[in-house]
Structures are given as C-alpha cells and as structure tokens.
Amino acid sequence: MTNSFGSFCDDFYVDLCVNTQLELPSQRDTVLSFFEQLRKRFPKMVNFSRRDDGEYLLEEEKDSGKYRWVSLEPERLTAGCAEPDKLEEAYALHCEALELMPYMLGVTALDIDSIDVTFTMDFDYQGNHDEVIAEALLSGSSFGAMFDINNAKTIGCNPSMIVALSDDFRTQARVAVESRTSLYDAKSEKFKQDEPISLYFTIRRHPAPMTAAELIESYRKQCAMAEQLMFDRVLPYFVQPLVSAIAQRR
C-alpha cells in the first residue's frame, strides 16, 4: 500500500517492537550473525554500533531522510522505517526480523510477551505544544473546562488512551500525543524549532504460542488492523484537528 499517511505530517515512521520475557542473547557471534543476515537482505544497512546501554544497532545512512534500522536491547527487538514510500517497505523489514528471531536469536513464540506495530507522525510547530494539543483534542470535553479558568495556561498536555480490541484483551490499541514544550519553554516563550509534536498509534498483541509462519501471518493482520484504524479513527479525530490547530497559529 502506498504511504498516504506521510502527506498529513512532517515526518512519518513505521516501527516494530518485540518485547520478550527473557533477555536476548548478547554473544558476539550471535549478534553479528543476526545483523549480517539482515544486511544481506537490505544491503544499505551498513552502519553498525553498540551503545553505552548495551543496545546493538544496524541502520542505513540518514542523509536522505529515508532510512531503516534494527536494534537489539536486553529484552526487546525493534525495527523501523522512516518515510517509506510504501508501507510494505517497512513491513518487509519487520517480517525479516521476525523470521530470523527463532533461528538466529533463539526467540520462540513462548518467549514473546508482546508485539507492537506503531505509526508515528511528527508535526513541526515552534510554539507552545501543550496549548495546541489541548485546543485541538480537548476543547469541548470535561478537560476543556479547565481552559476557562481566569488566567489559566496549559503547561502539560500529553493525552493517551488504551483500549482492548478483543474479548481476551490480547489485542490492544493505544493512541498518544506527546508535547515537547517544557515549563521553562512556556515561561520564557522561547520554543525549540527542531522539537515536533508527536502522535503515536500502536496496535499491540500478546500472541498465543504459534509457529513462526503463523506469527508472520498474525503480524500482517495486525498491520492491516492498524492501517484501517488510522483511516477510520486516527486521521479524522486526532490528526486533522492537530493540523488545523497548528495552521491557525502560523
């Protein structure tokens, strides 16, 4: 599917996150073999590094603004794609990582606590993020009544919500909007130019034990669900109000 979500924001990302019950292996040969297999599938992923917190990272060059990455942390694997032309570009990387996990890292479905697919949308705005978010998403709600207090100024607004999408609670959806305006920024009215408002939409599944092939199929259904809910709920009720509120203040 062509990525139409990116046209509604300034930056767009599609991420996979696999949270495990047990720690992932950190032995030199295992880690390097895993990333080498990914590099063969995606030859532009050539930048390998180890960070101070123990995270291992393989990524493409970021110069063009479009890039992929995969990282291993002690108890989670993440993979992401920035500004994909097609959503399948991100899904292909995610599925490759999921396919390699059992054979290269020893991760089975029994070990998986949850699998997330997250769509992230960044909106550039040099101003008070909290006020924009409150105006766009909370006006007319019970929280909106706080705006009517004399001399009230919004200095913290990071709304989020999680809903269960299945009777067994194994499938969940989370939407969150994050402000990056600090109290100092609001007081001084000196706002950072390079800090966006971020919207995160995640479909999380706590999978029952299944085969590797079933896991891939389940993940693709998870992605399809996320896409549909983006169109049905996130774009009209979160994205468009945010875009409108930002436009009115510019």
| Residue 20 φ/ψ region, left for φ over 0, alpha for ψ in the -120 to 50 degree band, beta for the rest | beta
pLDDT of residue 189: 80
| pLDDT value of residue 190 | 83
Q: What is the pLDDT of residue 210?
A: 80
Looking at domain 5-249, what is its CATH homologous superfamily?
Sirohaem synthase, central domain (3.30.160.110)
Give the residue from 122, 101, 85, 111 showing the smallest Cα distance to 16.
Answer: 101
Predicted confidence at residue 1, as pLDDT, reads 64
Query: Cα–Cα distance between 216 and 234 in angstroms, integer?
Result: 25
Q: Which residues of the chain register pLDDT less than 50?
A: none
Query: Which pTM was predicted?
Result: 0.94
| Separation CA 5–CA 68 (nearest Å) | 18
pLDDT at 60: 97
The 56-59 sheet, strands edge to edge? 47-50, 56-59, 67-73, 76-82, 11-20, 112-123, 197-205, 171-178, 160-164
List the beta strands (DSSP E) in 21-55: 47-50
Helix and strand counts by DSSP (H, E) for the chain: 6, 9
Each residue's pLDDT tens digit, 118-144: 999 999 999 999 999 999 999 888 988
pLDDT tens column, 169-192:
999 999 999 999 988 888 888 887
DSSP labels, 206-218: -PPS--HHHHHHH
Name the CA radius of gyration of the chain, rounded.
20
**Looking at residue 68, what is its pLDDT?**
97
How many Cα atoms are found within 13 Å in the side-chain-facing hemisphere of 29? Answer: 0
Q: Which two tokens stand for residue 133?
A: 């978010």
